[in-house]
């Protein structure tokens, strides 16, 4: 009897020591998202009535309709999509070739290049803005979506290259050699033989980049001056600045920004852990 009692207690302690932190973590991470969704569905008046109402009953879509009227959200979503997709595609094409070069060739300056790629991450992002201004100005791309796309692509390259190289290192170079014996050139071998095997890595890098660029604030805020070029995060900051007391409106705008990345994240998160486990962390 005493033995059964003891195992029961141990079981209870184990369950509690697992369940309690699980609940606490869930509350900490999810409550802000719930609160944002709740606020986006409530009328402004109801948001400032104390004590607060914790559930959005009855829910309404007024804030969403209002948000679309107050700023050109459709345009902002389109701009964000153009910049994010453009930067992802461009980055993918460049990084595929570059990471392949880093993984397969032993050339003079290779380790220095890796070191410098890491060092690029140490410069304050704000300080990158001056040279970006100069370079984009020379190219005539200031205040254009193409300019921001280029700048964002440049920002994504170092980390993407390091990440994708880890995936490439897992694929044996004998495959490339076999393809080249069959008459493929290097690029052909990369595209026809290696790329299909690299799809998990390419997906991971692309989604990582998409989330980063889609959520980026500083670069578009500084490099885009015309309001019609504003990306979604910039438009949200402008919306908040001109309607500082309209929390429901801001929450609705926030939800529009959040939904696409959350859906993407839901699709890849399982795979992200697996991908990191197989590559980036070990290597």
Residues 200 to 239 in contact with other proteins, rule: CB under 8 A? 211, 214-215, 217-218, 233, 236-237
Tokens 């859906």 locate to 263
Q: Which of residues 57-76 bind other proteins (CB under 8 A)?
A: none
154: closest CA among 120, 203, 118?
120
Q: Could you say which of 78, 81, 101, 184 contacts other proteins (CB under 8 A)?
A: 101
Judged by CB under 8 A, the stretch of 2-10, 62-70, 102-110, 141-149 that binds other proteins is 102-110
d(CA 280, CA 168): 11
- Bond before 222 cis per omega within 30 degrees: no
| Residue 72 phi, psi dihedral angles, 5° rounding | -80, 75
Q: Could you say which of 58, 130, 183, 226 contacts other proteins (CB under 8 A)?
A: 130
- Measured N-to-C along each axis, helices 62-70 and 232-242 cross at an angle, to the nearest 10 degrees, of 100
Q: How many residues bind other proteins (CB under 8 A)?
A: 83
Judged by CB under 8 A, the stretch of 61-69, 116-124, 137-145, 193-201 that binds other proteins is 116-124
Smallest distance, Å, CB 119 to other proteins? Answer: 7
Give the pair of three-digit tokens for residue 238: 């402008």
Q: Which of residues 4-23 bind other proteins (CB under 8 A)?
A: 18, 21-22
Smallest distance, Å, CB 1 to other proteins? Answer: 25
Smallest distance, Å, CB 226 to other proteins? Answer: 18
Q: Does 33 bind other proteins (CB under 8 A)?
A: yes
- Bond before 51 cis per omega within 30 degrees: yes
d(CA 17, CA 11): 10
């Amino acid at each position: 009897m005493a033995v059964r009692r003891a195992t029961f207690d141990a079981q209870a302690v184990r369950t509690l020591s697992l369940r309690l932190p699980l609940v606490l973590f869930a509350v900490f991470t999810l409550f802000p998202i719930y609160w944002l969704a709740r606020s986006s569905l409530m009328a402004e008046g109801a948001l400032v009535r104390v004590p607060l109402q914790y559930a959005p009953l009855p829910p309404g879509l007024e804030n969403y309709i209002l948000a679309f009227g107050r700023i050109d959200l459709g345009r902002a979503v389109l701009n964000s999509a153009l910049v994010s997709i453009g930067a992802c595609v461009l980055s993918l094409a460049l990084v595929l070739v570059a990471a392949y070069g880093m993984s397969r060739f032993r050339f003079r300056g290779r380790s220095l290049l890796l070191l410098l790629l890491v060092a690029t991450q140490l410069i304050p992002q704000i300080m990158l803005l001056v040279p970006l201004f100069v370079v984009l100005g020379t190219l005539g791309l200031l205040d254009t979506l193409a300019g921001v796309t280029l700048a964002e692509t440049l920002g994504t390259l170092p980390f993407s290259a390091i990440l994708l190289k880890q995936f490439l290192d897992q694929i044996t170079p004998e495959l490339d050699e076999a393809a080249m014996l069959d008459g493929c050139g290097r690029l052909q071998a990369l595209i026809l033989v290696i790329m299909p095997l690299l799809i998990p890595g390419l997906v991971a890098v692309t989604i990582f980049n998409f989330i980063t660029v889609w959520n980026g604030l500083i670069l578009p805020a500084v490099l885009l001056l015309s309001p019609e070029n504003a990306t979604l995060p910039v438009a949200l900051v402008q919306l908040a600045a001109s309607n500082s007391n309209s929390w429901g409106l801001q929450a609705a705008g926030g939800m529009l920004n959040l939904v696409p990345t959350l859906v993407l994240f839901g699709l890849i998160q399982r795979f992200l852990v697996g991908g990191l486990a197989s590559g980036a962390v070990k290597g």
